[in-house]
Amino acid sequence: TWVKENVATSRSLVATQSEAHEMKGKTILITGGSEGVGLELARQLVENNKVIVCGRSQEKLDTAKSQLPSLIVRRCDVTDPAQRQTLIESVVADFPGLSVLLNNAGAKTLTPTLPFDAAARRQDFALNFEAAVELIDLVLPHFLSRPDAMIVNVTTGLVYVPKAGQAWYCAAKSALSSVTRSLRWALRNTSVSVVEVALPVVATAFHGEEPASGAMNADLAARQMLDALDNGSVHIDIGKSRLARFVSAFFPVGSLRFINK
């Protein structure tokens, strides 16, 4: 009985948050949208939506704008509290139809797990966790006034199998994953859907100049993400992230040994 009740509750939650995911005719804010997966998402969304992207580099924003003339660009370092607040206030004022926040901005530091690197820890958590959560906090009052809205948090397959050399990045994304699930439950009876997308290794500058072995193309990763959103998914594992989730569940020790070899 307990199992049946919980399965029914889970299905109800998914159904409640699956109705407003079709990405057409929406006003969308994408953080980290001037390059990589964020730019590919903007490229695929801009024809049927009003898309605003933000990033730290004005040069990269200008390049994105030249590629996609209808794109709306805003310069913002999302790790800066004042800039975050200005971004959300200005976007809501200029585009009151804003209904999707896509927390895509992210970066990682490559440091040994030991000795602890306090600067790397603060840097990784500031961008990969705190910025996303604070942006949600700022935009949520507006989203709750909308007939439908959606928060999409981009995490990584490494939340399932963390790498020792990227400990703080993995920890920050794991924290964001946990908050995403809690927030989805907390907002289950509202008009706001909450989605997590766990990306695999994607061939972008995020991983340095040399593409990682077996990396997925950014356009394919973006396309699969948007297809899953259109289908109403609230938890989306892209590419090898699906495998990471499976092996971590059934082979927890072996999966950690493999990813850290």
pLDDT tens per residue across span 151-160: 999 999 999 9
pLDDT at 1 over 60: no
Q: Considering only residues 32 and 111, tell me which one the structure prediction assigns the higher pLDDT.
A: 32
What's the pLDDT at 7?
A: 43
Asked if residue 171 lies in contact with residue 179, where contact means CB atoms within 8 angstroms, the answer is no
Query: Scanning the structure block, which residue is given the tokens 């939506």?
Result: 49
At 103, list the tokens: 């927390």
At 200, list the tokens: 């695999």
Give CATH for domain 12-259: 3.40.50.720
At 179, list the tokens: 């908050």
Record the pTM: 0.89
Rounded to the nearest 5 degrees, what angle is found at the Cα of 51, between the Cα atoms of 49 and 57?
Answer: 160
- The CB density around residue 182, as the number of other CB atoms within 10 Å, is 11
Distance CA 67, CA 168 (A): 34
**Domain positions in the chain:** 12-259
* Residues annotated catalytic, as ranges: 169
pLDDT at 140 over 70: yes
Query: Scanning the structure block, which residue is given the tokens 């593409």?
Result: 211
Could you tell me which of 43, 30, 26 has the C-alpha nearest to residue 230? Answer: 26
Instruction: Calculate mean pLDDT across residues 105-134.
Output: 90
Could you tell me which of 193, 162, 164 has the C-alpha nearest to residue 175? Answer: 162
Instruction: Calculate mean pLDDT across residues 200-213.
Output: 70
Q: Residues 46-104: pLDDT tens digits?
A: 999 999 999 999 999 999 999 999 999 999 999 999 999 999 999 999 999 999 999 99
What's the pLDDT at 4?
A: 46
pLDDT at 193 over 70: yes
At 69, list the tokens: 């003339």
What's the pLDDT at 204?
A: 78
- The CB density around residue 208, as the number of other CB atoms within 10 Å, is 9
Instruction: Calculate mean pLDDT across residues 203-224.
Output: 78
